[in-house]
Amino acid sequence: MESPTVREHSGERLFIGGAWVSGENFLPVIDKFTGRPLTSVPTADEELVEMAVRSAEAGFAAMKVLPALKRSEILEKISGALREAADEFAAGIIAEAGKPAKFARQEVERSIQTFKFAAEEAKRLHGETVPLDAQGGSEKKFGFYHRFPIGVVAAITPFNFPLNLAAHKLAPALAAGCSVILKPSSLTPLTALKLAKLVEASGAPAGAFNVLVGSGGTVGDWLVSHPNVAMVTFTGSAEVGKQIREKAGLKKTLLELGNNSAAIVDETADLDWAAQRCAAGAFAYSGQVCISLQRIYVEKSAAKPFTEKLVALAKNLKVGDPKLGTTDIGPLISEPDARRVEDWINEAKAAGMELKCGGRRKEAFYEPTVLFGDPSGCRIGTEELFGPAVTVTPYEKFEQAVEAVNSTPYGLQAAIFTRNLNRAFAAFRELEVGGVIINDSPSYRADFMPYGGVKESGSGREGVRFAIEEMTYLKMAALHLSE
């Protein structure tokens, strides 16, 4: 194989086959608050993608024969190294993603745990015996199955959680015995390259983890259509998810896509708690979270007090420099995105929704916004906003609220706030989503729980154990006993 170091030189580099490699072209990475360049990163051409696939094949050959204990130790080391470098990672996420410090630190803490959970799960991969003698003609057969790693995994990630979403693909893949080629978002590639340094020091075989930077339309596309990639695990928008599904052919795909999350608040709910959690769910990281709360349906009798509490909380949020520990709302990822949010909110106002607070943009910043009324004919009511705004809509009957929650093409997570156990269970049964959160915001996620969507929110499940299942296949053995 060609040495992966041939194009090596100083500055940021790509990580291929355990070596740091440069490229011909470079991409500037911008500090999303100051707008100044942080550095530039080489982008991969087709030759480097080819090199990464060959390295990942070698990495897979080494990974698949590593004992579970060794795979677990590698993951423990990555988790420990991440803890030691937590401040540096948080600072990087604040700069390249514009994520306020409190949320950037949370993301690093969660990622440490994601690797830790994977270190534990690596020891639990197992199969079952199958009583083949139950079938006539198979009386002398004994059966069992076991899980085997699927092979080279291409992981494509979005800008909003540059560390933990990479961790949700890399950690289960290493636990399963797969190798990974990660293509992070071009907006936030630095965290992924920093993570590669920890993997390099962890004792993972060369080629077990590779990081390529470049646009989705080129590097992403080459990876998705490469015949030697066994699986594509993608987190991002539904639009790109559909393109990937079309290009991937018969490869396995795991798609974690967008949402238009909703919560139901009935009159029995603790309204102070509900308002507090809804504010957190709607405005954290300026709503740039796939399970960010976008629509709230409140039982008519509770709508006025609930809205007053929510508006008071929204008005209290501090907009400003994401580096400051006190900042709640930083910039959106780009000014065009803030303009899009502005357009959608203007559309909702023109359709008759009442602006309760917020509603103003300054450059890439958008104020936390609450709209009151019926959003059903507007984009904010049906599509994914990815911005700091939420709608509040009164309802008369619980069934109407359920129907409204289910009325969008998405189905990732939804929530209900209630003290009525039967209603909570009815919501669990009737809501068409991958997760129902009871008495907390739909943006709640623990990193080991099964997580993923239905409808246009995707297919397959992440959450360490569940992602390992996706990245392994069951192999059956049938043994003929001659005596």
Residues catalogued as catalytic = 256, 290
Residue 82: closest CA among 105, 104, 107, 111:
111
Name the minimum Å distance from CB 333 to ligand NAP: 7
- Tell me the closest approach of the beta carbon of residue 438 to ligand NAP, in angstroms: 20
Cβ(330)–Cβ(321) below 8 Å: yes
Shortest distance, position 228 Cβ to ligand NAP, whole Å:
17
- Encode 114-125: b = buried (16+ Cβ within 10 Å), e = exposed: bbbbbbebbeeb
In the complex with ligand NAP, the residue whose CB is nearer, 161 or 398, is 161
Name the closest residue to ligand NAP (Cβ): 216
Residues 6+ apart with CB under 8 A from 167: 111, 114, 115, 195
Q: Give the nearer residue to ligand NAP in terms of CB position, either 237 or 406.
A: 237
Taking the complex as a whole, how short is the minimal distance between the CB of residue 240 and ligand NAP, in angstroms? 4
Number of separate helices (H) and strands (E) present in the chain: 15, 22
- Which CB atom, from 58 or from 437, has the smaller least distance to ligand NAP? 437
Q: Is 373 left (phi over 0), alpha (psi -120 to 50) or beta?
A: left
Residue ranges that bind ligand NAP, judged by CB under 6 A: 156-161, 165, 183, 185-186, 215-217, 220-221, 224, 235-237, 240, 243-244, 256-259, 290, 384, 386, 412, 458
Q: Residue 392: which residues within 8 A CB-CB, separation 6 or more? A: 296, 298, 303, 306, 307, 310, 356, 370, 371, 372
Nearer Cβ to ligand NAP (257/263): 257
- With respect to ligand NAP, which residue has the nearer C-beta, 271 or 415? 415
Phi/psi of residue 393, nearest 5 degrees: -130, 125
Distance CA 192, CA 210 (A): 10
* Shortest distance in whole angstroms from residue 156 CB to ligand NAP: 5
Pair 179, 229: CB distance under 8 Å: no
Would you say 220 and 99 are in contact if contact means Cβ atoms under 8 Å apart? no
Report the residue number, 237 or 382, with the smaller CB distance to ligand NAP.
237
Angstrom distance (rounded) from CA 60 to CA 267: 55
Q: How far is the CB of 193 from ligand NAP (least distance, A)?
A: 14
What minimum distance in Å lies between the beta carbon of 371 and ligand NAP? 20
CA–CA distance, 191 with 16 (Å, rounded to integer): 16
d(CA 18, CA 201) in angstroms, rounded, equals 10
3-state SS, one letter per residue, for 42-65: EECCHHHHHHHHHHHHHHHHHHCC
CB burial of 74-101 (b: ≥16 within 10 Å; e: otherwise) equals bbbbbbbbbbebbeebbebbbbbbbbbb
Phi, psi of 401 (to 5 degrees): -65, -45
CB of 300 to ligand NAP, least distance (A): 31
Beta-bridge mates of residue 148 = 473
> Which one, 33 or 222, has the nearer CB to ligand NAP?
222
Nearer to ligand NAP, 72 or 260 (CB): 260
